């Protein structure tokens, strides 16, 4: 009996960009060319880790969990980078609003009100 294998992140991405409109939307949201998305699905080129994080953030909600799990299998260190990436974005957002985000607030996953 064959053991089912989990899809790679490239396979999940291939399903996501299966329609031209979604491929175009995602490429535009990521600031890349549609051809780049196709290259990623074929492993002809590889995204930078911040692009992978943005990919998850921009993916349709019903694909995010599966895409995240697949990316984490290929890039085990991505979780720590994602935390830094989110912290940096929150810091920039609140810096623009002239408020301060404490590390302890961020650590428990709550944003200042």
Q: What is the pLDDT of residue 23?
A: 97
Whole-number Å distance between alpha carbons of 60 and 91: 25
Helix (H, G, I), strand (E, B), or coil: what is residue 5?
coil
Q: What is the pLDDT of residue 32?
A: 95
DSSP H helices, 8-60, are 9-16, 20-30, 34-41, 49-58
pTM of the model: 0.69
Per-residue burial over 28-42, b if 16 or more Cβ lie within 10 Å, else e, is: eebebeeebbbbbbe
- Whether 12 and 69 have beta carbons less than 8 Å apart is answered as no
Helix (H, G, I), strand (E, B), or coil: what is residue 34?
helix
Helix 49-58 to helix 61-74 angle (10° resolution) is 160
Query: CB count, 10 Å around CB of 113?
Result: 4
Domains and CATH numbers, the chain: 7-76 (1.10.260), 77-113 (no CATH)
User: Going residue by residue through the chain (113 aa), what tens digit of pLDDT does each one get?
Assistant: 666 789 999 999 999 999 999 999 999 999 999 999 999 999 999 999 889 989 998 999 999 989 988 998 898 877 665 554 554 454 444 444 444 443 333 333 433 43
């Amino acid at each position: 009996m064959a053991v089912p294998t989990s899809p790679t992140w490239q396979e999940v991405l291939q399903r996501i960009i299966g329609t031209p409109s979604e491929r175009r939307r995602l490429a535009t949201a990521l600031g890349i060319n549609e051809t780049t998305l196709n290259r990623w699905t074929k492993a002809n080129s590889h995204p930078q880790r911040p692009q992978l994080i943005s990919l998850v953030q921009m993916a349709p909600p019903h694909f995010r969990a599966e895409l995240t799990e697949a990316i984490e299998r290929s890039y085990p260190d991505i979780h720590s980078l994602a935390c830094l990436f989110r912290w940096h974005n929150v810091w920039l957002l609140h810096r623009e609003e002239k408020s301060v985000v404490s590390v302890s607030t961020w650590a428990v996953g709550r944003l200042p009100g």
